[in-house]
Amino acid sequence: MEILIYGIVNSFKLILIAFGFTLVYGTSRLPNFAHGAIFVFTGFVAWIMMHKLNLPFLPAALLSLACAALVGVVIYQFILKRIRGMNMNEIIATYAIGVALIETFRWLGFKGTTFTLPVVKEGVVFIADVPVDYQRLMVVAVGLVMLAAVWAFTKFTRTGRALRGIAQDERAAMMLGIDSDMTATLAMALGSALSGLAALMLFPLGSIVVEAGYNTLIFALAVCMVGGIGSWSGTVLAAFVLGFLQVVTVTYLATHFQMVVTLAAIIATLILKPSGFFGKHKELEERV
Amino acid sequence: MQTEKRKERIDRGIKIRSDGIYALSSWREITYLIAPRFLLIGGLLAAPLLLHFFPYWQKVLLIICIYALLSMAFDFLANYVGLVCLGGSFFVGVGGYGAALLNKYLLLSPLISIPLAALFGAAFCTLLLLPCLPLRGVYFAIITLMYPLMMTRIIEAFELFGGTNGMMDIQGFGNPWIEQYFLVVATLVFLFALRRLSVEDLGLVIRGIKDNDQSVRASGINITFIKAQAIFYASFLGCFAGAYLAHVYMWAGLSMFALDFSIIPIAATVVGGGGSLLGAVLGAILLVPLSEVLRAFGPLRIVVYSLILTVVIVIKGEGLLNYLSRKYHQFERWVEI
């Protein structure tokens, strides 16, 4: 029972972490390797706003999300736009920016365990005799709301449909007057904001540490690879598989095997079925 | 109305004259051909002598050569074979631990244990990467990125080879001249050997695989075997660098699987310009001293380094060597259209 409940919570953590990454890659084919850095960035910005500017939680959260989106836009406009299409360069440039961002915070002295974000509501609730605190329930709730919101956004609004159009067939979408740069900027902003949202939900469970940036990137990559790059349903399914796998490993083996299992899952997926659960890159299946 | 202009690039006369080997008729043409090569070979060979009074920079030279080897391996795999391999640190780690084991348990001296470790390490890496060979593009990149991470975690979890402490007391070189010239000469030999390999028959097949693997297979060539060979050569370079590093530091540990050994060679290749192996070496020669100079910035070093890297990628995406060789071989002028 414990495994079931904490497995679900853990899966939603992974969904929150990975969804921004898969959104950007799925719509605009941009590998945003600064994803983990934006995650940490949002956490620290929220902390600064609450403790230095004395803002209450809600405005601080909203403002830091806006900052995260802004960083995404800036990265796209000043860097990615110029090197779009050069795969290796995109990865190196975004990774370098991410490292620069994370290490700046380390240099500014943001390390140690003194930096925490408050939980939305203190307290513990018992579900089938398993204690679960409210924050973990919030993670699940926010994850569900986010999935629904993104689904509704891409289904029913004009801009959301433009995003999907670009994702399905870039040339045809451009012929219909959808601006590829505009949608890519939007995707980067959205993806970064989602990464920030994950940070606001997950950091209250522990403290804000810079190393989280690197781990987050690996987890996001793992979920996206296993689920099939760019496939949203695949991402959700993979998050559940990996989420439960991690909880089971921690329960029956030891904590430091968690990363081994995650990495092994990536390797196994790539060898057995490179395009992931629901990947659309069928040409990758073609073995040579 | 303002006339539009465009830039035209034309090969220099001397390049055309010196293209055919029989046409060399003057010292000027011979110099034109030899000077860039001589600059590299002579420069690298003279460097240990010139840096004799700066022991610190001698060490930097060694690091340059290590990264030059790794960048060559990356460039060879990425631009000749078409496999983007982010597993540089995997090669380094395997080579390092291999040399450490050979030295500690078989008591081999560094000059023997390094080539042996490179050989066995390359075989080991090739064997482990064999199942991933059908993968292409980003997928191969990510899986090779996972290998060193995986090795670190496994060594940590099972406490293999001294666990997190690593293996200490590995024999050093003793003589600093042997230490330096061994690596510098090896780097040059590997550079020109790989360049030669890429124009031999095997090299042609390898480049054919990069362009169109299906048609190479249709010609009755076993492409998995060829790819495995290419991986073997590249991982040989990587393991050589790792084994050497283990003997210089007299220590082999988990930090040999560090991400630096995967990322910096790629950065060097991108900055220097891929596709010629020389560019990779040039990138290493530029980037490693840069990161040493940046030590003045203290903890901000990585930040400044990443920013410089990003700027170079955005502004000079083609790579420095391609830019320089264009300037060397061609002249440019504006023409009206």
**Taking CB atoms and an 8 Å cutoff, what residues of chain A touch B143?**
266-267, 270-271
Taking each helix axis from N to C terminus, what angle separates A57-78 and A35-51, rounded to the nearest 10 degrees?
Answer: 140
Identify the pLDDT of residue B316.
73
- Determine the topology of domain A2-108+130-282 in CATH: ABC transporter involved in vitamin B12 uptake, BtuC (1.10.3470)
Give the count of beta carbons closer than 10 Å to the beta carbon of residue B117.
Answer: 31
Write the CB contacts of B179 (distance below 8 Å, at least 6 apart in sequence): B62, B172, B173, B248
Higher pLDDT: A129 or B201? It is: B201
ipTM of the complex: 0.73
Residue B104, pLDDT above cutoff 50? yes
**What is the value of pTM for the model shown?**
0.79
Predicted pLDDT at A277: 67
Q: What is the pLDDT of residue B24?
A: 66
Range with the poorest average pLDDT among A92-101, B120-129, B136-145: B136-145
Helix (H) / strand (E) element for A50: namely helix A35-51
Positions in chain A whose pLDDT score sits under 70: 110-125, 127-130, 229-230, 255-256, 274-288
Within a 13 Å sphere around the CA of A270, how many CA atoms are in the beta-carbon half? Answer: 30
Quick check: B157 and A257 CB within 8 A? yes
Which residues are registered as beta bridge partners of B336?
B5
Q: Which of the 8 DSSP states describes residue B106?
A: S
| A100/B contact by beta carbon, under 8 A | yes
Q: Which pLDDT score, from 0 to 100, does residue B320 have?
A: 80
The pLDDT of residue A284 is 46
Angle formed by the axes of helices A134-156 and A158-168, nearest 10°: 80
Query: Of the ranges B78-82, B112-116, B140-144, B237-241, which one carries the lowest mean pLDDT score?
Result: B140-144
Rounded CA gap, B294 and B300, in Å?
8
pLDDT higher than threshold 60 for residue B150: yes
The CA distance from B23 to B19, in Å, is 8
Distance from CA of B187 to the nearest CA of A (A): 25
Contact residues for A172 (Cβ-Cβ < 8 A; gap 6+) = A165
Q: What share of chain A is helix, strand, coil (3-state, %, to 5)?
A: 75, 5, 25
- A-chain residues near B264 (CB < 8 A): none
Q: What is the count of structural domains for chain B?
A: 1
**Is A63 in the B-facing interface, judged by CB distances under 8 Å?**
no
Question: Which has the minimum average pLDDT: A111-115, B87-91, B182-186, B295-299?
Answer: A111-115
Q: Residue A207 has what pLDDT? A: 72
A104 CA: distance to closest CA in chain B (Å): 6
Residues of chain A in contact with residue B141, where contact means CB-CB under 8 angstroms, are: 91
Biggest CA–CA distance in chain A, Å, is: 60
Share of chain B above pLDDT 90, in %: 1
CA dist., res. B140 & res. B138, Å (int): 6
Residue B135, domain extent = 5-336
CATH for B158: 1.10.3470
CA B139 – CA B19 distance, rounded (Å): 40
Among B208, B245, B246, CA closest to B226: B208
Q: What is the per-residue pLDDT for B261?
A: 81
Tokens 């414990």 map to which residue?
A2
> Is 80 exceeded by the pLDDT of residue B317?
no
Q: B312: distance to nearest CA of chain A, Å?
A: 9
CA dihedral B99, B100, B101, B107 (to 10 degrees): 90
Q: Is the pLDDT of residue B175 over 70?
A: yes
